[in-house]
Chains A and B, each alone.
Chain A
Amino acid sequence: NAGVTQTPKFQVLKTGQSMTLQCAQDMNHEYMSWYRQDPGMGLRLIHYSVGAGITDQGEVPNGYNVSRSTTEDFPLRLLSAAPSQTSVYFCASRGRRGGSSTDTQYFGPGTRLTVL
């Protein structure tokens, strides 16, 4: 199993540009989520999904869109990049159907995004 994969690993954008961060998992997990990590702030939840076709907002959703058309993929779209979105983005997945709240959450390697 590849686990959770993310692309790209690094990205530099100009203010106003849009882009999509890709995330895929091959563990048949129902639950997927996107976090951003800023110095001293810990990981903050952007959006999450409890299954294909179902998404919901997390703690800091503004400026981001998500969709979940398949179990495996959960892309994160930046609509119009701003310098405040400079961060490290982690995708995570967790739990098969019927799993529990104690299921391990697995993270991708992260995407380091800089917005100029």
Chain B
Amino acid sequence: RKEVEQDPGPFNVPEGATVAFNCTYSNSASQSFFWYRQDCRKEPKLLMSVYSSGNEDGRFTAQLNRASQYISLLIRDSKLSDSATYLCVVNLVAGRRALTFGSGTRLQVQP
């Protein structure tokens, strides 16, 4: 079992749609959670951190469910520019500060 698992997709959605991605992680002691975005052949960039109470940044909402060990990302009103791969990232080991990345979920927003 992978330490951080994501559905690879691709998710093909029309502009304006709402889309949600889930990610599960294996270590219940994990401390920190993030969503990164990666455009084709580019480096990953932080989209948002995920906090225990859930958090929102514009059209993006991230949630954490510690009991079930998953995090989610909701994108509302999808734009063409949202097309990218979304990486679920977890700080699995307390104190080591090494991040573990999921394989990514590819999103394609179509006109």
Which A residues have a C-beta under 8 Å from some C-beta of B?
31, 33, 35, 40-45, 48, 50, 58, 88, 90, 94-95, 101-105, 107-110
Contacts and interface: CB of A to CB of B under 8 A. Distances in A.
A107 B43 contact: yes
Interface of B: 4, 8, 31-32, 34, 41-46, 49, 87, 89, 91, 94, 97-104
Given A107-B45, A108-B43, A45 B97 contact: no
Nearest to A59: B100
B87 A43 contact: yes
Contacts of B32: 101-102
A72 B31 CA distance: 27
B97 A101 contact: yes
A50 B101 CA distance: 19
Nearest to A6: B43
Contacts of B99: 33, 45, 94, 105
A40 B98 contact: no
A94 B43 contact: no
List the 6 shortest-distance A-B pairs measured between CB atoms, nearest first: A42-B103, A107-B43, A43-B101, A101-B32, A42-B101, A101-B91
A45 B98 contact: yes
A110 B104 contact: no
A40 B104 CA distance: 8
Nearest to A104: B46
Most buried by A among B91, B99, B103: B99
B59 to A, nearest CB: 20
A109 B43 contact: yes
